[in-house]
Chain A
Amino acid sequence: MEGTERVFERLVRDHQDRVYALGLALTGNRHDAEEVAQDTFLRAYKALAGYPPERIRELKQRPWLHRIAVNVVRNRVRGVRPRLVELNGSEPDRGIGPEEDVLRRAEIDELASRVACLPPRYREAVVLRHVQELSYAEVADALGQPVGTVKANVHRGLKMLRGENHGDGDD
């Protein structure tokens, strides 16, 4: 059990940025990103607790966490959000520093919300391939779809994003 806790803590510290970025790209805002990322790690923790040591050792952590995160987002019912933590209060908004950081942050948020507006099947494919930079095979594995489908969805999603980039208002 204590071994699991050590593995888990390292998993969180190693992958927190990637999982949070994934949450942001998939949900389009930082509040939901935090929830998705927290829920992803919590599910990972429960799974690890039930795995035998050799399975934990052989685990490909990156694709595994992506698969969990995608499922967390898919299972979120719109409008009904699980409460963050009963006693833990809310996450204070930290880390907004100098003006250029604020600008950069606003740009990122704007981009994230545009990506989040894509239909789910395009959004998942584009985010895993081009935000998280997984290979097509890894994306296909994480999404449970054939590689061909993933490629088509990435292509279509990028086209839609590019259309909005140029202000075409493509819907």
Chain B
Amino acid sequence: MATVMIDLKRLGDVKAPAGFAERVLARAGMADSYAVFETVLGPVYVAWNQLGVSAAMRSKSAAEFEDWFRHDVGRKLVRVDPPADLGRKIEDQLSGRRRLRFDLRGLTSFSQQVLHKTLEIPRGQVRPYGWIAREIGHPAAVRAVGTALANNPIPYFIPCHRVVRSDGVIGNYGGGGPEAKRNILTLEGVQLKRLETLARSGFRYEGVKSTKIFCFPTCYHGRHAREENFVFFHDEVEARAAGYRPCKDCRPAVA
């Protein structure tokens, strides 16, 4: 009898495995989980919780990501094995087949509006900063839109790389600088050379002769048009004077 009792006592000395407390806190919504994923950009650290994806960063190391997250987001973080299906969900998100949920708590409502609007830009297309500002009802706040996108805590997932300057400069990218931005856009099928050539000539819109509709270059609407069927405009007044209407998909101007 005594031996059994001593053995049982040893069973009571077992310690919880490493990370147990953090896993419990994560389930209670008091900590975010994170894992590292291979993407076209290289390894990306991704954090999420019960509300959705909360952060993504191309950090050099797990320690760097953890430091950044604790400092900028201010919650606890626990590393887990990458869920088997999250990689596919990310791919689906980027191609527009799926909408992941995002946790944007802690951002101003203005920033949240900017990021939600950015999610509407389809893969392979770009929009100017001024478009976001106008669409969310703050047409004068172009600079503030730029700041909100530069501080996007979930770059790549929330495709701030699809927002460019109207003068044709691709612009900054919080997810890894202008070079990374060019690379992703090219991978997504944007013809950067054409876009930049148009912008340098001061052309901000393209019209399709057969439909008499004008668009932002890269809009889906003009995908089947041949180059000689395009006509280019410097501004909205010029387009309307030529008898063109704004596209309902990319909304280059208020209809």
From B1, B13, B28, B86, give the contact of A41 (CB < 8 A).
Answer: B28
Contact B21 A89 (CB under 8 A): no
- Complex Cα distance, B27 from A2, in Å, reads 16
Q: How far is the CB of B17 from chain A (nearest CB, A)?
A: 6
Q: In residues 121-156 of chain A, which contact B (Cβ within 8 Å)?
A: 126-127, 130-133
Contact B14 A42 (CB under 8 A): no
Indicate with 1 or 0, residue by residue over A8-29, a CB within 8 angstroms of chain B CB atoms.
1100110011111100110000
Indicate with 1 or 0, residue by residue over A80-95, a CB within 8 angstroms of chain B CB atoms.
0000010111111111
Give the residue name and chain of the A residue nearest to B79 (CB): A92
Task: Please name all residues of chain A whose beta carbon is closer than 8 Å to the beta carbon of B9 when the two chains form the complex.
Answer: 130-131, 133
Contact A133 B27 (CB under 8 A): no
From A18, A87, A92, A165, give the contact of B83 (CB < 8 A).
Answer: A87
Given that A12-B24, A42-B24, A95-B17 are contacting pairs, would A115 and B1 also be in contact in the complex, using a CB cutoff of 8 Å? no
Task: Please name all residues of chain A whose beta carbon is closer than 8 Å to the beta carbon of B11 when the two chains form the complex.
Answer: 21, 24-25, 108, 111-112, 115, 131
Given that A88-B83, A158-B1 are contacting pairs, would A16 and B33 also be in contact in the complex, using a CB cutoff of 8 Å? no
Give the residue name and chain of the B residue nearest to A86 (CB): B83
Contact B24 A91 (CB under 8 A): no
Q: In residues 1-45 of chain B, which contact A (Cβ within 8 Å)?
A: 1, 3-5, 7-21, 23-28, 30, 33, 35
- Complex Cα distance, B24 from A13, in Å, reads 10
Asked if A76 is an interface residue, CB under 8 A from chain B, the answer is no
- Quick check: which of A30-38, A54-62, A67-75 contacts chain B, the rest being far away? A30-38
Give the residue name and chain of the A residue nearest to B76 (CB): A9
Task: Please name all residues of chain A whose beta carbon is closer than 8 Å to the beta carbon of B228 when the two chains form the complex.
Answer: none
Q: How many residues of A contact B (CB 8 A)?
A: 44
From A9, A30, A90, give the contact of B81 (CB < 8 A).
Answer: A90
Q: How far is the CB of B154 from chain A (nearest CB, A)?
A: 15
Asked if B177 is an interface residue, CB under 8 A from chain A, the answer is no
Asked if B136 is an interface residue, CB under 8 A from chain A, the answer is no
- Complex Cα distance, B30 from A115, in Å, reads 34
Given that A89-B35, A92-B81, A94-B19 are contacting pairs, would A41 and B8 also be in contact in the complex, using a CB cutoff of 8 Å? no
Q: How many residues of B contact A (CB 8 A)?
A: 35
Contact A20 B12 (CB under 8 A): no
Interface SS majority for chain A: helix
Task: Please name all residues of chain A whose beta carbon is closer than 8 Å to the beta carbon of B69 when the two chains form the complex.
Answer: none
Contact B12 A25 (CB under 8 A): yes
Task: Please name all residues of chain A whose beta carbon is closer than 8 Å to the beta carbon of B176 when the two chains form the complex.
Answer: none
Given that A37-B20, A115-B8 are contacting pairs, would A20 and B25 also be in contact in the complex, using a CB cutoff of 8 Å? no
Asked if A5 is an interface residue, CB under 8 A from chain B, the answer is yes
Q: In residues 204-231 of chain B, which contact A (Cβ within 8 Å)?
A: none
Contact B25 A158 (CB under 8 A): no
Task: Please name all residues of chain A whose beta carbon is closer than 8 Å to the beta carbon of B23 when the two chains form the complex.
Answer: 34, 38, 85, 88, 91
Asked if B82 is an interface residue, CB under 8 A from chain A, the answer is yes
From A18, A45, A89, A162, give the contact of B4 (CB < 8 A).
Answer: A162
Asked if A161 is an interface residue, CB under 8 A from chain B, the answer is yes
- Complex Cα distance, B4 from A165, in Å, reads 8
- Complex Cα distance, B16 from A24, in Å, reads 10
Known: A30-B17, A87-B83, A88-B83. 5 other contacts (CB 8 A): A20-B16, A38-B23, A41-B28, A89-B82, A131-B12
Q: A residues near B, CB below 8 A? A: 5, 8-9, 12-13, 16-21, 24-25, 30, 34, 37-38, 41-42, 45, 85, 87-95, 108, 111-112, 115, 126-127, 130-133, 158, 161-162, 165
Q: B residues near A, CB below 8 A? A: 1, 3-5, 7-21, 23-28, 30, 33, 35, 48, 80-84, 86
- 8 CB < 8 A contacts A-B: A25-B12, A37-B20, A38-B24, A85-B27, A87-B86, A91-B23, A94-B17, A130-B5
